[in-house]
Amino acid sequence: MEYSDEQYLNISCYAGSDDYDLFTGIVNQGIDGHLEAFTKSKFEYQKERNRQHYHFHKNEMSILLRRLCEAQDKESNMEKGMKIENWISDIVLEMYGVDIYE
């Protein structure tokens, strides 16, 4: 199920992939040290396609971006760290129209 592009950032990935591990870890943190959690976002698993769908609500972008930055800081594998940086860049461009590399 796709949610309104105006209200949600839709991300989909194969279960078991690096992206799946990244986003599932971010979502499964629950309430974090900032006393924030994803309460408006929606998550669903599509078994027949082996895909996880993440629908992050626009009002929770700050949580998503902060947790991605934290994950990048903790990542010791340079390739995975660059992939996280690319996710951050793509999300900022998609949601805010800002290219962080300019």
Residue 100 within any structural domain of the chain = no
Residue 102 within any structural domain of the chain = no
Contact 61, 91 (CB under 8 A): yes
Name the domain count of the chain.
1
The residue range of the domain holding 18 is: 8-92
**pLDDT > 90 in the chain, percent:** 91
0.85 exceeded by the pTM? yes
Record the tokens describing residue 27, joined without a space: 């979502």
Residue 1 within any structural domain of the chain = no
Residue 12 confidence (pLDDT) above 90: yes
Measured from the Cβ of residue 101, the count of other Cβ atoms closer than 10 Å reads 8
pLDDT tens for each residue of 52-97: 999 999 999 999 999 999 999 999 999 999 999 999 999 999 999 9
Q: Which residues of 55-76 are buried (b: 16+ CB within 10 A; e: fewer)?
A: bbbeebbebbbebbeebbeebe
Residue 39 within any structural domain of the chain = yes
Residue 44 within any structural domain of the chain = yes
Residue 56 within any structural domain of the chain = yes
Residue 97 within any structural domain of the chain = no
